[in-house]
A and B are shown apart, each in its own frame.
Chain A
Amino acid sequence: MDYLSLVWDWMVSHRDIIVIQTINGVVTGMILALIASGLTLIFGIMDVVNFAHGELFMLGAYVGVVVLATSGSFWLALVLSTLVVALLGAALQITTLRPLLGRDPLTTILATFGISLVLQNYALWQFGPVPRKIQEPFTGQFELFYLVYPWYRIVIALLSAGIIGGLYLFLKYGTYGIWIRATTQDRVMAQAMGIPVPWVHTAVFAIGAGMAAASGVLFGPLIGVNHAMGLDWVLKAFIVVVVGGMGNLGGSIAASIFVSLLEAYAAIFVSPAQAIIVSFVALILTLLFRPTGLFVPTPK
């Protein structure tokens, strides 16, 4: 077992970068979890694969830019962006997705793909190709080994966890949480119980959109805000949703952190652009051996 001691020695001597990458992985993972939870909720309740989810993330970031520029308050930007994009999501669902209910799933994939094209180009039209910046609400760093690590990143992770925790509580307790869970399990009987299922669908889509927008604003200071930022994230979100088990909220959160950690560790050895292959491999392995999801206890 010489290998093990070799690996252990390597890890100990590189513990600084491992810790840093672990924290980075968790931070990215929480942001991804925010995006992925919305995606998996939407799929779980109405069997819609929302290709436009990345664009909701992107628009959230842009609304954040605008509100920040006019009001100067990051937190106002966060709240307003979430509300505005949630409303937009509701409007989109009512106009384009409701008419498609019950049709071939290909049609919703195409419709959301079309929406994503329109939203991307709308953003390009309104804001131009030059990336914008969102200023983080506070600067301030702490020392982590040889680096100075910004507090803001830790705050993002905590806030995301808070939002997801809030979502969990909302779903578990409260009438609307019950409505959502009932509709997800059996849409027909939910209707027969008087639950206004079409509106539940709209509400869930809006919630998913709002969460994507929030992650756009939170993550904005770390990356440039531009019209194409949604594409890479929607891809990662899809991977994570499949690996976690489609429609499985807890699974997609766990998978988000798991995959982000894998990528963060891979980034120690290869470039970030190549590190993404790790998540692709995770997806393929999941599909080959545990297609219902890595974190789902037993295959259905």
Chain B
Amino acid sequence: MSAQPPAQPLVAVDDIHTFYGKSHILHGVSLAVGKGEVVGLLGRNGVGKSTTLKTIMGLVQPSQGQVRFEGKAVTSLPAHKLARLGIAYVPEDRRIFKLLTVMENLRTGLDRYGVSEARKQALLGKVFEYFPVLAERRNQAGGTLSGGEQQMLAIARAMMLEPKIVLLDEPTEGLMPRMVSQIKQIIAVLNREGVAILLVEQNVPLTLEASQRVYIMEKGVVRHHAVASELNVNDAVIQQYLGV
């Protein structure tokens, strides 16, 4: 393992064990994401990648281990407090509020205390610039949007929180190739703005291109950790943990 985790990570996860009922999903996962870094999390279906994200987001409580944000232990904090601290979550299957309009979806993140009206308008403006489709459909119900549009809304909604890190769970799943490159662009834009990203993906080439470091998981633990530029799709490691 040639990669080094950042000295002062933004988000760090230490030896977490998570259960769903009686199923032991995470068997001691440790990883870290630095400020402004894009880190990929690869692995086959069912190894615990989504569970790791959910544990970081406080949606699932680990039975053991620690989650740290900016150095402070936040393991027992509920999800809404973590969102306020600066962690945003874009889940698998998007989960936008289908019965709320696009605008109302955005407002769930936009309507925060202590944010001036001007800053809110600027945020909205920026998001509509990146996603003009959303501006067009702003008064439509979320459920009427196409899959790709819902994905954009899910990411836009997360951006409303002005997060320090975004947890992206399989953003390209079920999307057309044209949309996949759009996702790549969005990741690049977010990165430019200094937002860190923990990217869970099945799409290996995309992940290797977009990330600085990658972790590879298998059966609830991290098995490999490398600098992304040093990895190639055809490498033995990739084939071992991700090959079909």
- A and B touching (Cβ–Cβ under 8 A): yes
Q: Which residues of A contact B (CB under 8 A)?
A: 175, 178-179, 181-182, 185-186, 188-198
Q: Which residues of B contact A188 (CB under 8 A)?
A: 59, 79, 95
B79 touches A192 (CB 8 A): yes
A192 touches B100 (CB 8 A): no
Considering only residues 58-109 of chain B, those with a C-beta below 8 Å from chain A are 58-59, 78-80, 83-84, 88-89, 91, 95-100, 104, 107-109
B111 touches A175 (CB 8 A): yes
Q: Is B57 an interface residue (CB 8 A)?
A: yes
Q: Is B213 an interface residue (CB 8 A)?
A: no
Bound-state CA distance A181–B100 (Å) is 8
Q: Which residues of A contact B97 (CB under 8 A)?
A: 181-182, 185-186, 189
Closest to B112 in A: A194
Bound-state CA distance A181–B79 (Å) is 18
A192 touches B59 (CB 8 A): yes
Bound-state CA distance A181–B89 (Å) is 19
Bound-state CA distance A179–B84 (Å) is 15
A178 touches B80 (CB 8 A): no
Query: Top 3 nearest A-B pairs by Cβ distance?
Result: A194-B83, A191-B79, A175-B111
Q: Is B157 an interface residue (CB 8 A)?
A: yes
B100 touches A191 (CB 8 A): no
A196 touches B80 (CB 8 A): yes
Question: Could you tell me the distance in whole angstroms from the C-beta of A55 to the nearest C-beta in chain B?
Answer: 31
From the candidates A178, A194, A197, name the one contacting B100 in the complex (CB within 8 A): A178
B108 touches A182 (CB 8 A): yes
From the candidates B99, B108, B157, name the one contacting A179 in the complex (CB within 8 A): B108
On whether A190 and B108 interact (CB within 8 A), knowing A178-B100, A185-B99, A185-B100, the answer reads yes
Pair count A-B, CB < 8 A: 65
Most B Cβ at <10 Å: residue of A175, A178, A182: A178
Closest to A190 in B: B108
B59 touches A191 (CB 8 A): yes
Q: Is B161 an interface residue (CB 8 A)?
A: yes
Q: Which residues of B contact A179 (CB under 8 A)?
A: 108, 111
Closest to A185 in B: B97
Bound-state CA distance A181–B78 (Å) is 20
B161 touches A189 (CB 8 A): no
Bound-state CA distance A175–B117 (Å) is 14
A178 touches B78 (CB 8 A): no
Bound-state CA distance A194–B112 (Å) is 8
Q: Which residues of B contact A193 (CB under 8 A)?
A: 80, 83, 108-109, 157, 161
Closest to B58 in A: A191
Q: Which residues of B contact A198 (CB under 8 A)?
A: 78
Question: Could you tell me the distance in whole angstroms from the C-beta of A127 to the nearest C-beta in chain B?
Answer: 41
Question: Could you tell me the distance in whole angstroms from the C-beta of A151 to the nearest C-beta in chain B?
Answer: 40
B57 touches A178 (CB 8 A): no
B99 touches A192 (CB 8 A): no
- Mask of B111-137 contacts with A, CB within 8 angstroms, 1/0: 110000000000000000000000000
Q: Which residues of A contact B104 (CB under 8 A)?
A: 178, 181-182
Q: Which residues of B contact A191 (CB under 8 A)?
A: 58-59, 78-80, 83
Closest to A194 in B: B83
On whether A195 and B91 interact (CB within 8 A), knowing A178-B100, A178-B107, the answer reads no
A192 touches B57 (CB 8 A): yes
Closest to B108 in A: A193
* 29 A-B contact pairs sorted by A residue (CB < 8 Å): A178-B100, A178-B107, A178-B111, A179-B108, A181-B97, A181-B99, A181-B100, A185-B99, A188-B59, A188-B79, A188-B95, A189-B91, A189-B95, A190-B80, A190-B108, A191-B59, A191-B78, A191-B83, A192-B79, A192-B80, A192-B89, A193-B108, A193-B161, A194-B80, A194-B83, A194-B161, A195-B80, A195-B108, A198-B78
Bound-state CA distance A190–B98 (Å) is 12
A185 touches B98 (CB 8 A): yes
Q: Which residues of A contact B111 (CB under 8 A)?
A: 175, 178-179
A194 touches B84 (CB 8 A): yes
Question: Could you tell me the distance in whole angstroms from the C-beta of B59 to the nearest C-beta in chain A?
Answer: 6
Question: Could you tell me the distance in whole angstroms from the C-beta of A82 to the nearest C-beta in chain B?
Answer: 26
Bound-state CA distance A12–B79 (Å) is 63
Q: Which residues of B contact A182 (CB under 8 A)?
A: 97, 100, 104, 108
Bound-state CA distance A189–B104 (Å) is 14
Bound-state CA distance A186–B78 (Å) is 16
Q: Which residues of A contact B161 (CB under 8 A)?
A: 193-194
Most B Cβ at <10 Å: residue of A186, A188, A194, A196: A194
Question: Could you tell me the distance in whole angstroms from the C-beta of B93 to the nearest C-beta in chain A?
Answer: 11
Question: Could you tell me the distance in whole angstroms from the C-beta of B58 to the nearest C-beta in chain A?
Answer: 8
B83 touches A178 (CB 8 A): no
Bound-state CA distance A195–B104 (Å) is 13
Question: Could you tell me the distance in whole angstroms from the C-beta of B82 to the nearest C-beta in chain A?
Answer: 8
Closest to B107 in A: A178
Bound-state CA distance A192–B84 (Å) is 9
Known: A182-B108, A192-B91, A193-B157. 19 other contacts (CB 8 A): A178-B104, A178-B108, A181-B97, A181-B104, A185-B100, A189-B96, A189-B97, A190-B80, A191-B59, A191-B78, A191-B79, A191-B80, A192-B88, A194-B80, A194-B83, A194-B108, A194-B161, A195-B80, A197-B78
